[in-house]
Structure 1
């Protein structure tokens, strides 16, 4: 407590001396308003909404740009840390571009993206990406090799090494990079708003400078300082919760009993497990595909893309939680089930917590959807309503889709055509039947994931009176359905390309054919749940890779048109 109080001593002394110097006339009030005057001005700006509006605009730009930079920076940073080839390819470029003053890039960014929101997002992405990527790489490189050896001796390989060794051990460096990136992104966006004054705290500073409103300048600077301090405090608390051993190293050694897992870390881990984030590729892939197809047709907005993506993932998370709740309530999921929803089965969360968690996720997705409806039209409203109803009644109610043999059909419709067309419509505000047709391969493969799951659980589902196409058709016919879903996705894609509906570059997805053949072989040879559990995971990976290769093909087509 004493240390925390000491943190306020120097700012308090500065304010008192400043006030005294202004009152005594030593400092000219025209250039240095008294702190009391600045505080009064800040309250006025908050009351009339000027400061709140400017702060929200700055935070929105900062959040969008930071998220767009963070994910690829973490991925590339980890790749550079664990893979020598990736390090040789990317590290020199990243290291060379990192020292370049990011504000100096504003003219080039404006030339490329114009003076709108996209240029501001781009500046933040450029500023944050290199900082986070280099810190992540450094953290992974500093991991002791013996930890990797221990993991390999216990059967870990490939991505297992990344998730179980590289990322946890490098977490201090990763969080440091994120913390620095947050502060840097705030600095850069305020500076960019000064140069391109179109709302935000930077624009408020520029406008105040033009009319010589010094009190407002200081008030805006105070808000920027508070935001920076707040981000740093939040990151320090996250660091304290997620990597408590690092904080322990800075404290005097003392005898203590084994402490419980920090509350925040336990909370995050439990809900992370409950919402099943590994399944989010089933919603992320079609949203990105639809958005990229809109970009191919000349329509794009980063803000709408992020809102659509987060909203879709929120609805997906809500559907996962509600489905787990009703499967548990109906006795379908038990502690012996092979399914992934262990948070409820293992007692980490109560059934009421899971239910209300699902309601919260649906509510979050709906709030974001309301913004899209307000800006893009009623078509999004109807898609959103039907999507929420489909997610809720997938397992809820006496005639739930998953219990009446309609699961694959519902998943095909809503995680194929509806999501792809919906994300396309958000950008373009028109319905394209070509987009619906291009979504069919993705819809077929996401249905194949569910069907593989139902093939694995065929006996348990029958015992619990859960009717799926797998147990309605029987084992032999259900295999043929799996062949049709997987094989049909490739046939449809080739036909779409031959009919000039999809760009030729989308044939990149055919690179996944060897993996598809292996999965078909697994479905043919094995019947036990343990063996078919691998079929579920493999089909999910196939859907992800197939979809992202289609996306890569669409991006390649965009580049080809520009060139």
Structure 2
């Protein structure tokens, strides 16, 4: 009898755990489904004009059509090339500049005041100047993204290095490590949480600046596609472009978050529970 009761309890436990896992898998879908239902109702009940906002079904159908005929792929690749180039230049420059300022008092005195003045300028305010310098070709869009990322990564890198425990540096000095060795093997690893946060913030900013640049001067890309659809009253295309940006932005953020967890796998941190 006791064996039978134990088996029943084990089976019941497996059923409950399975139900819990199923419920946890459904939780992230609740808000999106509610928003889709509200969106559909707003268009069908004519709370908003159907000429301005397409229904979710119309957008989904349009996404399939754009994917099949290659239009979506062309604009996605154009945007991704600009984003990767701009983010790469800005991230590399920010890491180098932030590391230099972080370890050198001379660089701090001579460069950091200028960074403090330039960083608060909204990146979109650089667009007219960049168009004057580089025209409306790819360079102006790439450098706009690079400038935005540069200031974010530089600031976070300097902050991370300056908040490293002084005892780590003193141990490196006792071991007679050079400044470059101290930077590579002590300061940068210890500052990596702040650096990774800066890279993640810079990646999110890259998407904003990319779309801003494409709205102003481009003939390809997701930003241009949205702007063109808006001008010629194609609400399904407009929202389809927005959905693509949201999806690609979420994927890129997840990839950066995965890289952050891999780099900081040694760190034990609070996970919200």
For 1:233, what is the secondary structure of its paired residue? Answer: helix
Counterpart contact for 1:179–1:231, Cα < 8 Å: no
Counterpart contact for 1:64–1:121, Cα < 8 Å: yes
Q: Please list the CA deviations of residues 116-138 of structure 1 after superposition, one character each: whole Å capped at 9, or x if unmatched.
A: 11111111111111111111111
TM alignment of 1:348-497, pairs within 5 A: none
Decide whether aligned partners of structure 1 residues 25 and 182 sit closer, same or farther in structure 2, where only a CA change above 3 A counts: same
Counterpart contact for 1:197–1:206, Cα < 8 Å: no
Separation (CA, whole Å) in 2 of partners of 1:19 and 1:251: 35
Counterpart contact for 2:136–2:218, Cα < 8 Å: no
Q: Please list the CA deviations of residues 499-544 of structure 1 after superposition, one character each: whole Å capped at 9, or x if unmatched.
A: xxxxxxxxxxxxxxxxxxxxxxxxxxxxxxxxxxxxxxxxxxxxxx
Alignment-derived partner of residue 187 in structure 2: 166
Separation (CA, whole Å) in 1 of partners of 2:198 and 2:86: 15
Alignment-derived partner of residue 224 in structure 1: 245
Alignment-derived partner of residue 235 in structure 1: 256
Separation (CA, whole Å) in 2 of partners of 1:59 and 1:28: 33
Separation (CA, whole Å) in 1 of partners of 2:126 and 2:24: 41
The RMSD of aligned alpha carbons is 1.7
Separation (CA, whole Å) in 2 of partners of 1:245 and 1:4: 28
Decide whether aligned partners of structure 1 residues 21 and 184 sit closer, same or farther in structure 2, where only a CA change above 3 A counts: same
Matched, 1:113 2:127: no
TM-score, L = length of structure 2: 0.87
Alignment-derived partner of residue 274 in structure 1: none
Report 1 or 2 for greater relative contact order, CA contacts < 8 Å, sequence distance ≥ 6: 2
Separation (CA, whole Å) in 2 of partners of 1:201 and 1:252: 35
**Higher-Rg member (1/2):** 1
Alignment-derived partner of residue 412 in structure 1: none
Which stretch of the first structure deviates more once superposed, 30-39 or 15-24? 15-24
For 1:244, what is the secondary structure of its paired residue? Answer: coil
For 1:249, what is the secondary structure of its paired residue? Answer: coil
- In structure 2, list runs of 5 or more residues that go unmatched: 1-20
Shift of residue 169 of structure 1? 0.5
Shift of residue 67 of structure 1? 1.4
Separation (CA, whole Å) in 2 of partners of 1:120 and 1:250: 38
Alignment-derived partner of residue 249 in structure 1: 269
Separation (CA, whole Å) in 1 of partners of 2:152 and 2:136: 25
Matched, 1:72 2:93: yes
Residue 92 of structure 1: which of 104, 113, 122 is its match? 113
Decide whether aligned partners of structure 1 residues 223 and 252 sit closer, same or farther in structure 2, where only a CA change above 3 A counts: closer
Which stretch of the first structure deviates more once superposed, 92-101 or 20-29? 20-29
Separation (CA, whole Å) in 1 of partners of 2:65 and 2:99: 47
- In structure 1, list runs of 5 or more residues that go unmatched: 254-563
Alignment-derived partner of residue 201 in structure 1: 222
Counterpart contact for 2:52–2:233, Cα < 8 Å: no
Alignment-derived partner of residue 53 in structure 1: 74
Shift of residue 251 of structure 1? 4.0
Shift of residue 78 of structure 1? 0.9
Counterpart contact for 1:103–1:188, Cα < 8 Å: yes
Separation (CA, whole Å) in 1 of partners of 2:112 and 2:256: 26
Matched, 1:104 2:122: no
Decide whether aligned partners of structure 1 residues 252 and 174 sit closer, same or farther in structure 2, where only a CA change above 3 A counts: closer
Shift of residue 221 of structure 1? 0.5
Separation (CA, whole Å) in 2 of partners of 1:109 and 1:137: 27
Matched, 1:27 2:35: no
Q: Please list the CA deviations of residues 262-288 of structure 1 after superposition, one character each: whole Å capped at 9, or x if unmatched.
A: xxxxxxxxxxxxxxxxxxxxxxxxxxx
Shift of residue 208 of structure 1? 0.8
For 1:28, what is the secondary structure of its paired residue? Answer: coil
Separation (CA, whole Å) in 1 of partners of 2:25 and 2:183: 38
Counterpart contact for 2:200–2:253, Cα < 8 Å: yes
Separation (CA, whole Å) in 2 of partners of 1:237 and 1:51: 27
Separation (CA, whole Å) in 1 of partners of 2:55 and 2:159: 45
Separation (CA, whole Å) in 1 of partners of 2:180 and 2:190: 15
Decide whether aligned partners of structure 1 residues 85 and 3 sit closer, same or farther in structure 2, where only a CA change above 3 A counts: farther
Separation (CA, whole Å) in 2 of partners of 1:252 and 1:131: 26
Separation (CA, whole Å) in 2 of partners of 1:51 and 1:252: 38
Residue 152 of structure 2: which of 126, 131, 136 is its match? 131
Separation (CA, whole Å) in 1 of partners of 2:262 and 2:85: 25
Counterpart contact for 2:94–2:150, Cα < 8 Å: yes
